[in-house]
Chains A and B, each alone.
Chain A
Amino acid sequence: MSAASTAVVERPAPPPRRWSKARVAGHVLVALWLLLIGGLLVYLVRAWDPVLFDTYAGRYLSGLLVTLQLVGLSIVLGAVFSVPLAYGRMSANPVFGGLAYGYVYFFRGTPLIAQAFLIYYGLGSFRPQLDAAGLWWFFRDAWNCALFAFTLNTAAYQAEILRGAIRSVGRGQWEGAAALGLSRWQTLRLVVIPQALIVALRPYGNEIILMIKGSAIVAIITVYDLMGETRRAYSRSFDFQTYLYAALIYLAIVETLRHTIDWLERRLTRHLHH
């Protein structure tokens, strides 16, 4: 058992692993997974339909592009908007702080789909006013409304990520920078932000993944993203494989992102490991 004895004496053959209850159950479960995944693959191969593929492959691709555009744009716009929000959440001013708190609470406490409905259908109630303000052309379009709703939503989550990350940098860092004669802004830019971003990397990555998954709800407000194209394909063909292909595409995107974030985190924190 001890490491010292194995170093001197010739290592004995490891005892054969017994078929414990957990081992049997684990193998049964893995076998069930393999059966399920294999069964789905066999089904997809046998149900392969060139006509179906020709009809819908292009549409899936355009739907995928819509999804990626929508998520990419709303993440970037939300990141911009999250900066003043996070500032408000951390400010001592009760009005500013209260407003930011209320905003974040509202957008994190209500379902994204209800927010999208409120903006896409609800703002229709104010058509005369929006017309007068010259904004109706924007809110008439479902894609714009989805982008608007997603931006407001992700800004609330990103503001909290940003706030948490900045809070995670210790007071001593601020004090040390002040002792060196750096201004507040220089401290933030040169000392605090680089450390905060490493803390924020994983939450930001999770937020992107959550947005990609959450963006599927735009299909309900008539945007033809990947989910919208899938729903359209199913309603025309009544072929279940349309949903399975969508699932494979979403899984591939999310897994790729997850592994990229893992890799990035390992790379960016390599100075912290030995």
Chain B
Amino acid sequence: METAQTLLSFGPEGWGDEIASGVLITVSLALATLPFGLVLGFLVALAKQSEEPSMRLAGNIYTTIFRGLPELLTLFLIYYGAQLGVQQVLRLSGTSATIEINAFAAGMVALGIMFSSYASEVFLSAFRAIPQGQYEGGYAVGLSYRKTMRLVVLPQLFRIALPGLGNLWLILLKDTALVSVIGLTDILRQTGIAARVTRESFLFYGLACLIYLLLAILSSWVFRALERHAERGTVGR
């Protein structure tokens, strides 16, 4: 127990500060991905519920591809693909250099794309749950399409989509662990380094699992509060 305490302490002998910085990276990656994934997912959902068949087709191709690929493979495709792409562009412009793509950025793009392809389905089913009368009511009081969307449809849409988005957030949080494979110093990578140096693998990987669990519990509290907030208008029914 004594040794575990020193190993986990914050200081030159302990790994506490390294792991804490890993937690910070994991959380900031997930938080940075969220708005990107939400906006992209919403746009894809709009495309998929459009009256225009070609729009629906484009949206469906997107979800088919990115929901069918393994998360790790998507990450590698984007990481190595972007690296090759940038090198091609540089070669065309006459300079040759090996470029390292930032792992955080690659992770953000890959996770955001995966998040959005699932989020589009959540938004789509939320759109279907809103009756046509809500739109018609909006137009009847003289609101434009945009205003109806913003003032009538979107507030209800988010309330309906919130539980589904909460699940997707938990999946996103767990999927950030994959980005450690391409070198991001997140929770899993930092605990992995500690495990290799100290040969206390069970302690450190167990700690990693507990930290992820703690983040999941915290997130579910936040989402429960958000859901209660969103449903405050419907309680009386």
Contact = CB atoms under 8 A, between A and B. Distances in A.
Interface of A: 20, 22-23, 25-27, 29-30, 32-33, 105-106, 109-115, 117-118, 121-126, 212-217, 219-220, 227, 230-231, 234, 240, 243-244, 246-247, 250-251, 254-255, 258
Contact of A214 (B70, B81, B195, B216): B70
Interface stretch (B5-13, B32-40, B201-209, B228-236): B201-209
Chain B facing A: main interface SS: helix
A166 B114 CA distance: 31
A248 to B, nearest CB: 10
B188 A243 contact: no
Nearest to A121: B201
Interface in B129-153: none
Given A29-B58, A111-B177, A113-B177, A250 B201 contact: no
B212 A227 contact: no
Contacts of A26: 47, 50, 52-58
Contact of A106 (B72, B208, B209): B209
B154 interface: no
A147 to B, nearest CB: 18
Interface stretch (B60-68, B89-97, B100-108): B60-68
Interface string B170-210: 10001101100100000010001001000111110110110
A67 to B, nearest CB: 10
Given A29-B55, A117-B205, A126-B202, A213 B188 contact: no
Nearest to A123: B202
Nearest to A118: B205
Contacts of A123: 202
B54 A105 contact: no
A255 B54 contact: no
Contacts of B174: 109-112
B80 interface: yes
Contacts of A22: 50-52, 55
A32 B47 CA distance: 15
A110 B212 CA distance: 5
A243 B77 contact: yes
Given A115-B209, A243-B73, A254-B68, A125 B202 contact: yes
B213 interface: yes
A142 to B, nearest CB: 14
B84 interface: yes
A29 B53 CA distance: 12
A112 B76 CA distance: 18
Contacts of B47: 26, 29
Contact of A30 (B57, B70, B206): B57
B80 A234 contact: yes
Contact of A124 (B71, B201, B206): B201
